[in-house]
Amino acid sequence: MKKLLFILLVVASQSVMAFSDRPTADLVLVKKAERKMFLIKNDTVFREYNISLGKQPVGHKQKRGDNRTPEGLYTLDFRNRQSKFHLSLHIDYPNQQDRLKAQQLGVDPGGDIFIHGLPNGKNMPLVYEGVDWTRGCIAVNNPQIREIAQYVSDGTPIRIAP
């Protein structure tokens, strides 16, 4: 019995150490042209994901409904618990520069840009793989968004490059 208890304590302590050793990203980098997202800690990439973008992926988002993914420096500022998608991390688009540009153009800059998984209730991940299908969000598969949510805290900067 003592031996079993000892084994359980060792396994439990290793699980706690593994959890506490998990890196927390200090930057999320998206390269739209490559359809890649990188989680970075201390200038070192520790995770890489294939992504899907808005239906019109080339160019910076300028107005509501243009189906483009924004480009620039933003912050992942909260998690949407009521999302239509499997987990979602909010990107604080539009920033001040985006609002000013939209005002100059006389348009609504839009918003509701997230990193998220697949639509809730849709169990066909292969339909979405390798396709730009969002309205401007950054999408990954459901296991990936669960992993990303563990490595990224609210307040983490995200740089979205063309």
pLDDT tens across 80-91, in order?
A: 988 999 999 999
Q: Quickly state the pLDDT bin for 7 (edges 50, 70, 90).
A: very low
**Considering 60, 86, 90, 137, which one is annotated as catalytic?**
137
Residue 117: is its pLDDT beyond 60? Answer: yes
**Domain limits, the chain:** 25-161
* 116 classed as catalytic: yes
Considering the candidates 60, 86, 90, 116, report the single residue annotated as catalytic. 116
25-161, CATH topology level: L,D-transpeptidase catalytic domain-like (2.40.440)
Task: Give the helix/strand (H/E) hosting 91.
Answer: strand 88-91
Return the pLDDT at 16. 44
% of the chain exceeding 70 in pLDDT: 85
Q: How confident is the model at residue 57 (pLDDT cuts 50, 70, 90)?
A: very high
Side by side, which strands form the sheet with 113-116? Answer: 44-50, 36-41, 27-31, 156-161, 72-79, 88-91, 113-116, 138-139
- Taking the CA of residue 73 as centre, how many other CA atoms within 13 Å lie in the half-sphere pointing to its CB? 4
Query: Stretch 13-41: mean pLDDT, rounded?
Result: 83
Q: Which amino acid makes up residue 64?
A: R
Q: Out of 30-34, 96-100, 125-129, 155-159, pick the least confident.
A: 125-129
Q: What is the pLDDT of residue 2?
A: 52
Q: What is the mean pLDDT of the chain?
A: 89
